Amino acid sequence: MERLGRITTSLPDLPIDRRMTYGAMRRAIIGLPVTVSSAILPDGLWGCYDDENRVILIDRRLTYTAKRCTLVHELLHWRHGDTGCSNDRSKQERRARTQTALTLVNPTELALLERMYEHEWQIANELDITTQVLEDYRSTLASA
């Protein structure tokens, strides 16, 4: 069986954590062998990773919260050596979404916020994540 992408054992760990803002994440990854740029992306695409050029593009029209989540998601595609864009049901996409959620959500903080707020958008706002990342996190817990 042929393995797609790079062997990832030699790549550095991502120097980011859930407490960082989008700007802090951008500064923290400056030394990594991947370039992050902003652009106006087509068809509602928030971000993409081009493995051939090792470039992550993030739609410049997004909020900083959405950019933060998209950056982590695309960095995980880079970290795993994923090649090209894939559909929402691909194994690579599911893995990136799951790992993004696990990276950005603090379970203790989430439990507290769930007692404080009744709407998902309020919880997501407090965690500085999108409601999609929150849904992905809950789906991950439900399937475990």
- φ/ψ of 130, rounded to 5, equals -80, 160
**In this structure, what DSSP letter does residue 38 have?**
E
List pLDDT tens digits, range 40-53. Answer: 999 889 999 999 99
User: How confident is the prediction for the chain on average, in pLDDT?
Assistant: 89
Q: Which tokens hold the place of 12?
A: 């550095």
Evaluate if residue 28 carries a pLDDT over 90: yes
Evaluate if residue 109 carries a pLDDT over 50: yes
Distance between CA atoms of residues 120 and 31, nearest Å: 35
